[in-house]
Structure 1
């Protein structure tokens, strides 16, 4: 009897320990780069909602660029700062105490998978600009070079004019002149500035005929109508309809395993209502339920250049300590009081008859059906540029005014 009681007490003690011993849950055993893409997609939608809540204008950014930037800071951070980055990036379930390099390794594999056929033009470049007096830990510098091919640049921020010129020249070269001015001013007290650039160029699998492009009306809202260059093409396209959402989908493939998915709200449906409904699960269901049909597509040419100060947006999403005096960046440097001064993101996209050139920088109810013959994109719409094999979201945007640049 005494032995039995002792066994019961031991079982009770072990049960209690299961509730009080967390740290980090073990990463799911089936973690793949597609799983990382899924998590990154939900982060992208959350960030989109944060950006769009501030205005009713065009939106364009690279979720992959931004996530990769902050993945490097995961290796630099500890404590609350580390936990906040994980939570906002939606990567908590990928954190593993016995595999500290799992997340950066997944980002590395994702990048390799996207570029594996060699034909896709997607160049990512990252640099951490550090105040001259800061001594960076060798382990951190080695890690970001290994996993992200990133560079650490020592900058004399006290020379504000020289540092602005230095940063802009770096970004200009990395984006092949697509982004010529990343920063206009830098504070002389700047400690750390993170820049991540991504350059993308792709041709349509089936180009539009420029001879057919003509001016046509685009309805910004019920009161504002613009004449914009409208591209026209008749062919077989993959389409679907989301009946509960009140929107139609159109897939436009590029030549290198990348596609643009357009989400067009139905007439009378306010695009702001759709904002709250977009998520990773929705996106994957749209892609899954696309069906091919013949129709004529009318699509506006557009070009956008958008920029965001992420240090102003992310604290509202729960990532605040990174930009404050309480930042824990001890894996980057042992210097006390170190914090991220700025993370700037600037993105450029141009869509025409031949394809898309885009550059970015970081300082369910689906019913497939036969669509009407016409798919006319003549009102505000959403678009997503994604890698098909991994469903990785490279860019996403909202076009309110195609002629606004």
Structure 2
């Protein structure tokens, strides 16, 4: 029988599942963790801007999932491939020759800081599926087990039907049945697959009253209007106005130290202009300038399920060699033909009125005779879900039409 040497495809699937609501307060992070959060945010916004340049539709992704997954891939790479990954992830300045494990250690500390006492419902998992005959370098295997708590599983990819069923079941279990039938096709020559899952669930600190939700207009643009279920709440919240940007910012807190920051362009301001101005520096300035005031908040319920072929996007961000025949993943395996063939990111979110009974009973005093300001999210807006203690950006998105999933 003739033996043909095949280039080994490395399919890299990132799955994020968010069932909107979240996190808890932890001790103040060290400067290095704060630095990592800032750099992750810069990468996230660069990636978001790249995606937004392709279309004017809804966007939703998990920057933490993507950054963590590629941080694991950095540990497998060398030479130009490693340099490109570090630069593309905005992690160059965290690389130190005398501390080769600094970056994975920082990611490990960041996740531990976010999930400090276990009260935060943020389950992140990583799995490495490999062909039984495929030899992974022990150092790399040890690293992803130690720093990323990765599962290592043998899969005979030549049995494509069985492999698809096995991997889909794993994903479904990891996302608590929220992501099903993730894969429907698989290249039989695949030798290695890395999967990252994130499942996030939380409750509004001040939940909306579902009895007050009514259909109301949402103005997609000057010509398109849709009717959406609009939630209503009146209470004290933190907000600020970015006058130069022409937008308002509202903070809606979840339980356990996580919040959603809504960026709402003023009437008449094109959201595409806002797209170009979002940055990590600007995000942190919004958080610092928030002030507490009484507000009447009107916000649409929405669901989104978004998928992105990142192997078609990331090369444009300077990460090209890892997807080419010149990829250097020799720290993962000595086989020179190993490269990343596919990177799929899937993100799901549902935003509604839900909250716990205890949260519902925690009301902040409202003066009856003082009329509240109105914050009506009835036009395209941006949102960011972040961990307050670390300023780590967990998820981000853009809603153009809340009726479209």
- Is 1:300 aligned to residue 316 of structure 2? no
Bigger drift between 222-231 and 123-132 goes to 123-132
- Is 1:157 aligned to residue 157 of structure 2? yes
What is the SS of the residue equivalent to 2:123? strand
2:283 paired residue number:
283
**Aligned partners of 1:346 and 1:128: how far apart in 2?**
18
- Is 1:83 aligned to residue 83 of structure 2? yes
What is the SS of the residue equivalent to 2:326? coil
**Aligned partners of 2:132 and 2:237: how far apart in 1?**
54
1:397 paired residue number:
397
Q: Is the 8 A contact 1:171 1:179 kept in 2?
A: yes
Query: Offset of 1:132 from its aligned partner?
Result: 3.8
What is the SS of the residue equivalent to 1:203? coil
2:50 paired residue number:
50
Query: Offset of 1:234 from its aligned partner?
Result: 0.3
**Aligned partners of 2:106 and 2:237: how far apart in 1?**
33
Structure showing greater radius of gyration is 1
- Unmatched 5+ stretches in structure 2: 1-29, 357-369
**Aligned partners of 2:145 and 2:174: how far apart in 1?**
16
What is the SS of the residue equivalent to 2:221? coil
2:354 paired residue number:
354
What is the SS of the residue equivalent to 1:256? coil
1:201 paired residue number:
201
1:321 paired residue number:
321
Deviation track 1:44-75 (CA, whole Å, cap 9, x = no partner) reads 00000111111111100000000000000111
2:377 paired residue number:
377
- Unmatched 5+ stretches in structure 1: 1-29, 357-369
Q: 1:371 to 1:260 in 2, by over 3 A?
A: farther
Q: Is the 8 A contact 1:134 1:335 kept in 2?
A: no
**How many residues align structurally?**
363
Q: 1:303 to 1:137 in 2, by over 3 A?
A: same
Deviation track 1:274-326 (CA, whole Å, cap 9, x = no partner) reads 11111100000000000000010000001100011111110111101111111
What is the SS of the residue equivalent to 2:68? helix
Deviation track 1:59-92 (CA, whole Å, cap 9, x = no partner) reads 0000000000000011100000000110000000
**Aligned partners of 1:141 and 1:116: how far apart in 2?**
25
Query: Offset of 1:131 from its aligned partner?
Result: 3.5
Structure 1: which 4+ aligned runs deviate by more than 4 Å?
none
**Aligned partners of 2:355 and 2:248: how far apart in 1?**
21
Deviation track 1:207-255 (CA, whole Å, cap 9, x = no partner) reads 0000000000001111111110000000001000111111000000001
What RMSD in Å do the two structures reach over aligned CA positions? 1.6
What is the SS of the residue equivalent to 1:227? strand
Query: Offset of 1:128 from its aligned partner?
Result: 2.2
Aligned runs of 1:5-404 on 2, under 5 Å? Answer: 31-354=31-354, 373-404=373-404
